[in-house]
Amino acid sequence: MDIITTYGVMLIGLAAFVGFIMAWGIGANDVANAMGTSVGSKALTLKQAIFIAMIFEFAGAYLAGGEVTSTIRKGIIDSAYFIDAPEYLVLGMIASLLAAGIWLAVASYFGWPVSTTHSIIGAIVGFTAVGVSVDAVAWGKVGGVVGSWIITPAISGVIAYLIYMSAKKIIFDAASPILNAKKFVPVYMALAGFIMSLVTIKKGLKHVGLELDAVTGYSLAVGIAVAVGIFGFVVIRRMEVNLDASEEEQHATIERIFAVLMVLTACCMAFAHGSNDVANAIGPLAAVASVVNSGGQINASSPLEWWILPLGGIGIIAGLALFGHRVIKTIGTKITHLTPSKGFAAELAAATTVVVASGSGLPISTTQTLVGAVVGVGLARGIAALNLKMFKTIAMSWIVTLPAGAVLSIIFFYILTFLFGV
């Protein structure tokens, strides 16, 4: 307790520094979830994607990042074990942020799309199990995280496959692709409007005190879907198309329509991601600030200091600007060849999986969800269309993430306890 009183300002400053490193890692790695398919399908250039993502990620993090955050992310450890030793929680959270941030920087350098959520969970579990007590860890929830490595990519992969194959059969393989596109693209637009509305409602609005009940949320999403579908129907009907054009030219026109849809879905995903995953950086930081400012008292949730959200938002866009291109290229070009229609199917499938997981309480990684979706659309062209070597590398990086975060956090935790004389 004396350490918190004596070094309070220093501890908060150190937590802010490593929190920025963690936010930087989130920007460098996780933002590819929103923009990787857009770049890979050439709907956007790399520079355009980074610029757009910077705007929507920061907006999500700052505007909808929340006023209060859970002290212990995902309830993965029991705070009761820290009541008599709050300095362990403070130093452990600082160690966890530094460990997860460093791992994300390493993964981003090599272009590995890993889970920022799993990185911080692994780090928190590591210092708690070794430095405090094995019993303080909710091992059942850790098991759920491990299970999600298979479940969520599989779900999103199947959905992406079905969405793309439906578009292929209904539109691209039709005798007159353009005429069928006029009929059915508005349906895909309405579906995208519905799913993206739910993602924004469930993953964004709840952080600013606008959490809607299920009936209101779904009713609003249906209304938006209908409006988007009608708008799409009107716009596409007015498009001038040449029915005598070659099949290749008709396909190119349809792909341009899907490119616009994909950019819109990517913006929604970026906003939702910024609002949701910034908590991986600011949650532990807010916990440190709360414990220090309360003189060692541990609360279930922590009110955010005014400077924490901007710090997280700036960290995310800094990481995106400097390192984001590496993971964007992996998602967009190194797993399978993407076209705008395939990218749209993958993005929509990932968003659908996020909605399903939110409703069922399934632990989820947006990174793994999107990778699964990209693999799903790749399988539409057969197993040969996939870069299996790259997929194996990505899968190994997922497995390594939890233990890497844990080992690094244990090392940093003991260094900090030694330096502060705990």
Q: What is the residue-level pLDDT of the chain in tens, covering all 422 positions?
A: 578 888 999 999 999 999 999 999 999 998 777 788 988 998 888 888 888 888 888 887 877 666 555 545 557 888 888 988 899 999 999 999 999 999 999 999 999 999 888 899 999 999 999 999 999 998 988 888 788 778 889 999 999 999 999 999 999 998 888 889 989 999 999 999 998 888 777 665 655 556 677 788 889 999 999 999 999 899 888 877 777 788 888 899 899 889 988 888 888 878 877 877 777 888 889 889 889 988 888 876 667 788 888 898 899 989 988 888 999 999 999 999 999 999 999 999 988 888 887 666 666 788 889 999 999 999 998 999 999 999 999 999 999 999 999 999 999 999 999 999 88
The count of domains in the chain is 1
Angle at which helix 308-329 crosses helix 86-109, to 10 degrees, equals 30
* Surface-to-core class of residue 248, CB atoms within 10 Å of its CB (0-12 exposed, 13-18 middle, 19+ buried): exposed
What are the b/e assignments for 65-99, b being 16+ CB within 10 Å? bbeebebbbbebbebebbeeebbbbbbbbbbbbbb
Nearest-angstrom CA–CA distance, 160 and 240: 30
Distance CA 372, CA 113 (A): 12
132: nearest Cα among 165, 68, 88, 84: 88
**Which is nearest to 352 in space by CA: 185, 197, 131, 125?**
197
What tens digit of pLDDT does each residue of 73-117 get? 557 888 888 988 899 999 999 999 999 999 999 999 999 999 888
Give the integer Cα–Cα distance in Å for 57 and 33. Answer: 11
- The pTM (predicted TM-score) of the whole model is 0.89
Please choose, from the candidates 43, 16, 14, the residue with its C-alpha nearest in 3D space to the C-alpha of residue 310. Answer: 16
DSSP-derived letter for residue 75 is: G
Alpha-carbon dihedral sign for residues 74, 198, 275, 339: positive
Element (H, E) at 147: helix 139-167
Burial grade of 348 (CB within 10 A; 0-12, 13-18, 19 or more): buried
Q: Which helix (H) or strand (E) holds 303?
A: strand 301-303
Structural domain of residue 81, as residue ranges? 2-419
Which parts of 103-187 are beta strand (E)? none
